[in-house]
C-alpha cells in the first residue's frame, strides 16, 4: 500500500513554507502568546457541527447532537456549540456547572455519570438536567431525592470498540452501563415511581472509524428498547447512540464517510421503529472528538537538541502535562515544523517534553526536516482531549488557549502562572 502524504486542510495552510492557522501565521502567534499554546478555530468547529447535523438531518427529521464537553470544555468552545444549537453531554457536576454558566438550558443537558455521589446527584437533579442512569444504585438514590419527569438509562449493548483498551466502554470488561436484567428492573422501578418520559442510551467507546460495531451495538439497543416497550409499556422520547466517531490522526487514516454513517444508522433506526412499534423518538448522538479535534493545534517550541549514540531527541516545551494522549494511549499526533514546511524530511527524531519521566514522548521515530533549537512545532488534532486532559504535573503551569474568531485572535484562557501553583494551598504552621 502506498503511504498517503499529508494534505493541508482548513484551518491549516502552507504559506511559502510557513504554517498558517485560520489565516494567521503561527510563528507570529507563538511570538505574541508564547508556547505551549493551543489555537482553536471557531469556524472549523462550526463547519464540523453543520456537516454532521446536515448529514443526519438528511435521513431523519428528529435529530439532537449532544456535544460531549469532556473533549474540550473551554467556555468559548461550549458557547460556539451552543449557538449552533447543540445539546450537551456532561459527565460531571463540574461540566453541568460550566454548561449552565455558558447558557445551555437544563433541558438540553444530559448528565451521564459513573460512580456518582449522593450530593452530586442532588446537585444534578436540582439543576433540572436530565439524568442518564448508569447503575440501579444511582436510580434508587436519585428517587430518594426526587422523581424526575424525564429519565434516560445507559445500557451496555454488549459490543464495545475504541482506539485503545481504556477507551472501550461496552462489553464484558467495562464498568459502564446496565445489562439487560438490571435495565428492565431500572425502567420498571422508575415508571412505578412516576417518571413520565424516557430515553435509552449507549456509548460503546471512542475513536471508532469502523462503523460495524456501532451499527451492531445500536441494533442491540433497539432490540432491548422493544423488550422494554413490550414488557413495561414505555415509549421512548429519545434513543441515544452515544459518541465515538473517530477522526483521522495519521495521514493514511481515512475519514469517516458521514453520508454512509448517517444512511446506515438511520435506515436501521427507521426500519426498527416501525418493526418494533417504537413511535418516532429523537435520534441523539454525543460526539466530542469529531466536533473539536481538528479545530485545534498545539504549538510548542524546540529548546534542546540532543544526539545520543542511539537516538536524536528534540526537546520541546510541551510534555504529557500539556498533551497526555501520546503517553497515555500511545496515540499518534501528526507534527509539522511550522517554520520549515517545505524542507526535505530527512531526519528521524523522538520528540520529548520537559517532564521528568521517560514516558514523556510526544512522537517517536518521526521523520522531520533537520531541526534546530528555536524551531516551532505544531501538533495537530489537539482539540479533543488535549487541554482537557492537561495537568500541572511537575509543577508546570497550564498552557494558554487562543481562539480565532472572525479573523481575530482572542486569548480565551490565560496561561497559568507560578501563582496558579499556589492556589488552594496553605502551609500549616
Ligand atoms: N458520550 C459518553 C458517555 C462518553 O463517555 C464519551 C467519551 C463521549 C460521548 C464522547 O466520545 P467521543 O465522540 O469524543 O469519542 N481521553 C480519550 C477519550 C475518552 C472518551 C471518554 N468518553 C482520548 O483522548 O482518546
CATH number, residue 353: 2.40.37.10
* Ligand 1 close to Cβ of residue 201 (< 6 A): no
Radius of gyration of the chain (CA): 23
- Rounded Cα distance, 312 and 365, in Å: 9
pLDDT tens-digit readout, 216-268: 999 999 999 999 999 999 999 999 999 999 999 999 999 999 999 999 999 99
The answer, yes or no, to whether residue 429 has pLDDT greater than 90, is no
Same domain, residue pair 136 and 261: yes
* Predicted local distance difference test score (pLDDT) of residue 274: 98
**CA 95/CA 70 separation, integer angstroms:** 8
Mean pLDDT, the chain, whole residue set: 97
* Ligand 1 center to 254 CA (angstroms): 20
Domain-terminating residue out of 253, 287, 321: 287
CA 343/CA 376 separation, integer angstroms: 14
Cβ of 243 below 6 Å from ligand 1: yes
Is residue 356 annotated as part of the catalytic site, yes or no? yes
Residues 279 and 299 in one domain: no
Last residue of a domain, one of 287, 309, 330: 287
Cβ(162) – ligand 1 distance below 6 Å: no
Phi-psi region of 205 (alpha: psi -120 to 50; beta: other; left: phi over 0): left
Residues 32 and 150 in one domain: no
**Which of 67, 114, 214, 244 to probe ligand 1 with, by most ligand atoms within 8 A of CB?**
244
CA 243–ligand 1 middle distance (angstroms): 7
**Residues 267 and 298 grouped into a single domain:** no
- Within 241-325, strands assigned E span 282-285, 296-307, 312-316
Q: Are 239 and 265 part of one and the same domain?
A: yes
Which of 206, 207, 246 to mutate to test ligand 1, by most ligand atoms within 8 A of the CB atom? 206
Residues 135 and 261 reside in one and the same domain: yes
**Residue 273 and residue 310 in one domain:** no
d(CA 341, CA 353) in angstroms, rounded, equals: 22
Q: How many domains does the chain have?
A: 2
Q: Are residues 332 and 274 in the same domain?
A: no
Q: What is the mean pLDDT of the segment spanning 180-193? A: 97
Q: Is 48 part of any domain?
A: no
Statement to judge: residues 251 and 392 lie in one domain: no
Q: Is pLDDT of 2 > 90?
A: no
CATH number at residue 281: 3.20.20.10
pLDDT one-digit tens code per residue, 43-69 = 999 999 999 999 999 999 999 999 999
Give the mean pLDDT of 276-301.
98
pLDDT at 307: 97
Which residues lie below 8 Å from residue 234, measured CB to CB, with a gap of 6+?
A: 187, 191, 198, 228
- Closest C-alpha residue for ligand 1 atom 3: 203
106 belongs to a structural domain: no
Q: Give dist(CA 270, CA 352) in Å, integer.
A: 50
Q: How far is the CA of 28 from the centre of ligand 1 (A)?
A: 33
Residue 4 has pLDDT above 80, yes or no: no
Residues 397 and 374 in one domain: yes
Q: How far apart are CA 323 and CA 411, in angstroms?
A: 19
The answer as to whether 88 is a domain residue is: no
Residues 144 and 272 in one domain: yes
Peptide bond before residue 315 is cis, with ω within 30 degrees of 0: no
Taken in order 231, 237, 242, 245, the sign of the CA dihedral is positive
| In the block, residue with C-alpha cell 456509548 | 203
Same domain, 141 and 260: yes
pTM above 0.75, yes or no: yes
Mean pLDDT of 160-165: 91
Q: What is the pLDDT of residues 20-38, one digit of tens each?
A: 999 999 999 999 999 999 9
Parent domain of 354: 12-41+293-422
Q: Across residues 108-112, what is the average pLDDT? A: 98
* Residue 132 within a domain: yes
For residues 393-400, give the mean pLDDT: 98
Going by the DSSP 8-state scheme, the letter that residue 231 receives in this structure is: H
Task: Give the percent of the chain with pLDDT over 90.
Answer: 98
Task: Say which residues have a Cβ less than 8 Å from residue 265's Cβ, sequence separation at least 6.
Answer: 211, 214, 215, 218, 241, 283
Minimum CA distance residue for ligand 1 atom 23 = 385
Chain segment 78-107, per-residue pLDDT in tens:
999 999 999 999 999 999 999 999 999 999
- What is the model's pLDDT at position 3? 67
Q: Which of 265, 287, 309 is the last residue of a domain?
A: 287
CB 287 less than 6 A from any atom of ligand 1:
yes
Amino acid at each position: 500500500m502506498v503511504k498517503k502524504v499529508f494534505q493541508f486542510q482548513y484551518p491549516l495552510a502552507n504559506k511559502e513554507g510557513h504554517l498558517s492557522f485560520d489565516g494567521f501565521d503561527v510563528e507570529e502567534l507563538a511570538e505574541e502568546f508564547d508556547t505551549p499554546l493551543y489555537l482553536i478555530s471557531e469556524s472549523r468547529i462550526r463547519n464540523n457541527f453543520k456537516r454532521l447535523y446536515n448529514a443526519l438531518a438528511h435521513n431523519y427529521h428528529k435529530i439532537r447532537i449532544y456535544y460531549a464537553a469532556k473533549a474540550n470544555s473551554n467556555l468559548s468552545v461550549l458557547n460556539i456549540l451552543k449557538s449552533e444549537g447543540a445539546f450537551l453531554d456532561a459527565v460531571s457536576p463540574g461540566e453541568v456547572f460550566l454548561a449552565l454558566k455558558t447558557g445551555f438550558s437544563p433541558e438540553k443537558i444530559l448528565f451521564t455519570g459513573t460512580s456518582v455521589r449522593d450530593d452530586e446527584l442532588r446537585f444534578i437533579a436540582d439543576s433540572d438536567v436530565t439524568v442518564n442512569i448508569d447503575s440501579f444504585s444511582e436510580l434508587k438514590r436519585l428517587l430518594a431525592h426526587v422523581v424526575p419527569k424525564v429519565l434516560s438509562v445507559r445500557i451496555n449493548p454488549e459490543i464495545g470498540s475504541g482506539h485503545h483498551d481504556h477507551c472501550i466502554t461496552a462489553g464484558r470488561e467495562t464498568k459502564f452501563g446496565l445489562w439487560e436484567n438490571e435495565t428492565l428492573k431500572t425502567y420498571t422501578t422508575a415508571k412505578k415511581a412516576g417518571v413520565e418520559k424516557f430515553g435509552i442510551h449507549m456509548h460503546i467507546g471512542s475513536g471508532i472509524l469502523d462503523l460495524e460495531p456501532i451499527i451492531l451495538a445500536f441494533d442491540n439497543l433497539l432490540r432491548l428498547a422493544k423488550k422494554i416497550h413490550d414488557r413495561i409499556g414505555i415509549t421512548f422520547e429519545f434513543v441515544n447512540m452515544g459518541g465515538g466517531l473517530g477522526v483521522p490522526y495519521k495521514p493514511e487514516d481515512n475519514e469517516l464517510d458521514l453520508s454512509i454513517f448517517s444512511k446506515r444508522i438511520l435506515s436501521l433506526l427507521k426500519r426498527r421503529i416501525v418493526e418494533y412499534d417504537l413511535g418516532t423518538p429523537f435520534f441523539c448522538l454525543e460526539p466530542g472528538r469529531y466536533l473539536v479535534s481538528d479545530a485545534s493545534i498545539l504549538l510548542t517550541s524546540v529548546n534542546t537538541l540532543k544526539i545520543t549514540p542511539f537516538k536524536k531527541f528534540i526537546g520541546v516545551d510541551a510534555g504529557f502535562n500539556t498533551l497526555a494522549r501520546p503517553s497515555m494511549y500511545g496515540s499518534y499526533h501528526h507534527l509539522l515544523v511550522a517554520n520549515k514546511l517545505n524542507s526535505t524530511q530527512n531526519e528521524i527524531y523522538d520528540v520529548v517534553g520537559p517532564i521528568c519521566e521517560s514516558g514523556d514522548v510526544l512522537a517517536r521515530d518521526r521523520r522531520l526536516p533537520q531541526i534546530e533549537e528555536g524551531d516551532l512545532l505544531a501538533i495537530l488534532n489537539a482539540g479533543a482531549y488535549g487541554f482537557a486532559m492537561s495537568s500541572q504535573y511537575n509543577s508546570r503551569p497550564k498552557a494558554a488557549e487562543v481562539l480565532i474568531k472572525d479573523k481575530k485572535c482572542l486569548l480565551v484562557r490565560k496561561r497559568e502562572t507560578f501563582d496558579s501553583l499556589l492556589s488552594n494551598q496553605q502551609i500549616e504552621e
